[in-house]
Amino acid sequence: MRALSNQKLRKSLYAYAIVIIGYAVIQVLANGGGLSSAFEGQLVPICAYVVMALSLNLTVGVMGDLSLGHAGFMSVGAFSGAVACIALENMIPVPALRLTASIAVGAVCAGCAGVIIGIPVLRLKGDYLAIVTLAFGEIIKNIITCFYVGQDNRGLRFGFLTSINDLNLGDGARTIIDGPMGLRSVPKLSSFTAGFILILVTLAIILNLVNSRSGRAIMALRDNRIAAESVGIPAAKYKLMAFVTSAALAGAAGTLYVLNFSTTVASKFNFNTSILILLFVVLGGLGNMWGSIVAAALLTVLPEMLRQFNNYRMLVYAIVLILVMLATNNSSVRTLVGKMKEAAALVFKKRGTGR
């Protein structure tokens, strides 16, 4: 039993260590001028995707339900967070505070969406659950495409299915969300440090949840729902708890993401984005948090690394993806990696005893 908890602890420490070391290395490199601007520009999106992957891992890995609409929550967080950020411009002039407040608003809005969606969705199972999350993702995309938000001296004005001209903005008019044209002139508040802190907070929330009594209940439901329910674990409550946490964290990631670009359109958060996040989670390993972090970071950088292939870039990306999936599931490769690990462990041990 002690060994088990030690292993858990070690895994959690891995995750924190990767994030902190990664942050330190990148900061040192950036200060030394050793980073290309291409890589520097990707730091915030990487942080956002890492948070997305961690939060989806909570649904798919820990809770065991396939979600194909995770980008929908990112979208809710992105758009509500950006509106909050612009609306609070005069009230909170300090950028760091405003960013925190916007992320909080994004997380709360996405969490609310999580409650609304989670209650019906979690009654379903397997592929039916997956398709309903896909459906909600598409609905969110469609609805935000028809949404108009403007600001004038009287405050925020909302419109649905109209056009920005019909909002009748008065003095000091500013368009925030212009339907299909998406967000306009968003202040770029996100920074790598903010992203780093958000990853740490996300990790703390998820690891605490997983290692708590509730987390054990959620995993028991995943492993055998009937057995878990028969010992009195309320399935609906715990599943909803995990789902809403996951949605809220995705919303926070969405706000972080959107405040890094001057414009974002609703169709960015489509089915393909949901699938991309799922890709990070599956490649990193279900339930494996540090795996999600590494996979999200690597796979976000990979397409940029392939720029020299020009038009063949995405073809190469697809081939790499298939090969990685085949290699990671190939028994001989896995045995080889296992042997290498054993050998490495042996070397370390020898050195340890030799001293």
Least Å distance, CB 298 to other proteins, is 5
Which C-beta is closer to other proteins: that of 90 or that of 310?
Answer: 310
Burial class (CB in 10 A: 0-12, 13-18, 19+), 109: buried
Q: How far apart are CA 321 and CA 141, in angstroms?
A: 27
Which C-beta is closer to other proteins: that of 198 or that of 281?
Answer: 281
User: What is residue 33's DSSP assignment?
Assistant: T
Q: Per the structure block, which two tokens stand in for 341?
A: 């690990």
Which C-beta is closer to other proteins: that of 66 or that of 201?
Answer: 66
Which C-beta is closer to other proteins: that of 68 or that of 252?
Answer: 68
What number of residues does the chain have?
355
Q: H or E element: which one contains 148?
A: strand 147-152
- Judge whether 150 and 173 are in contact, CB under 8 Å: yes
Least Å distance, CB 299 to other proteins, is 8
Q: Identify which of 289, 325, 320 has the alpha carbon closest to the alpha carbon of residue 302.
A: 320
- Judge whether 12 and 204 are in contact, CB under 8 Å: no
Least Å distance, CB 150 to other proteins, is 14
Which C-beta is closer to other proteins: that of 181 or that of 240?
Answer: 181
Which C-beta is closer to other proteins: that of 164 or that of 194?
Answer: 164
Least Å distance, CB 242 to other proteins, is 18
HSE at residue 12, side-chain half, CA atoms within 13 A, is: 17
Burial class (CB in 10 A: 0-12, 13-18, 19+), 251: buried
Burial class (CB in 10 A: 0-12, 13-18, 19+), 344: exposed
Least Å distance, CB 10 to other proteins, is 11
Q: Identify which of 73, 347, 70, 50 has the alpha carbon closest to the alpha carbon of residue 202.
A: 50
Which C-beta is closer to other proteins: that of 10 or that of 97?
Answer: 10
Q: How far apart are CA 145 and CA 138, in angstroms?
A: 11
User: What is residue 264's DSSP assignment?
Assistant: B
